[in-house]
Amino acid sequence: MALERPTDNDTEVLALARRNGWPDDLRHLIARYPREQWQGHANLGEMARFWLSRHDMFRELAGMIQEIETQFRAGALSPEQFARVFVPRLQFMLSQLDLHHQIEDFHHFPLFRAADERLARGFDVLEGDHHAIHADMEKTAETANALLRALSGDGDTLRRRGDDYADASGALIKGLIRHLDDEEDLVVPLILDRGEEALGVAHHG
């Protein structure tokens, strides 16, 4: 009986926390449509521009929230000031991310998978990312609530809750940034190659 060497499990190799971009077999379109060409390309339509602007908003919000946390922990914001700027921004980011992922999972990805079966595996990986990001979002919300409850307590507890939150949100943001970059590298070249109308993702009205 032949022994089989365990093959690399694809989903594990390409897991969000481990990968560093796409492997060669998922790079056939990005190789033809490098980032420098995106903005000036005629097929970058309204849908893609709006979608890219959402990604930029998430990057910006993530940076802003991290900056607020850094300032608070450095003593530059009072607990009241911290809560006032932190809560609405984190809440907005988490709720918008949830919505954004739903649109991708249920509307965009099925159309993209159908358009190019060589990329289908990449969209499975991206959908897996959404699950990983959701787990990190939950941890971030939990640790944020614990941190907010600790604002009125003693300094030691507050520091520990701050550390817990920093760990959870740090993991969330690191994964999110990786995900946004990789998703763009898969989606935008496909849109440039086929056009939004042909893919069925064009905005109308």
Q: Is the dihedral of CA 115, 121, 123, 124 positive or negative?
A: positive
| CB-CB contact of 135 with 15 (8 Å) | no
Q: How far is the CB of 169 from Fe ion (least distance, A)?
A: 18
Q: How many residues bind Fe ion (CB under 5 A)?
A: 2
Q: How many whole angstroms separate alpha carbon 192 and alpha carbon 203?
A: 15
Site of tokens 């796409």? 22
Q: Which is nearer to Fe ion, 183 or 185 (CB)?
A: 183
Q: In terms of Cα–Cα distance, which of 43, 40, 34, 39 is closest to 52?
A: 39
User: Which three-class secondary structure state does DSSP give residue 20?
Assistant: coil
Identify which of residues 150 and 180 has a Cβ nearer to Fe ion in the complex. Answer: 180
Q: How far is the CB of 102 from Fe ion (least distance, A)?
A: 10
Please list every residue from 10 through 69 that binds Fe ion, using CB under 5 A: none
What residues from 90 to 109 belong to the interface with Fe ion (CB under 5 A)? 104
The dihedral formed by the CA atoms of 66, 69, 73 and 78, expressed in degrees to the nearest 10: 150
Q: Which is nearer to Fe ion, 128 or 151 (CB)?
A: 128
Closer to Fe ion by CB, 104 or 116: give it: 104
* Residue 58 C-beta: closest distance to Fe ion, Å: 8
> Looking at beta carbons only, is 69 or 104 nearer to Fe ion?
104
Site string for Fe ion, 175-204 (x = CB under 5 A): --------x---------------------
State the minimum distance, in angstroms, from the CB of residue 123 to Fe ion.
10
DSSP letter for each residue of 60-95? HHHHHHHHHHHHHHTTSS-HHHHHHHHHHHHHHHHH
Structure tokens at 172: 């969330």
Nearest approach, Cβ of residue 194 and Fe ion (Å): 18
Which residues of this chain interact with Fe ion, rule CB under 5 A?
A: 104, 183
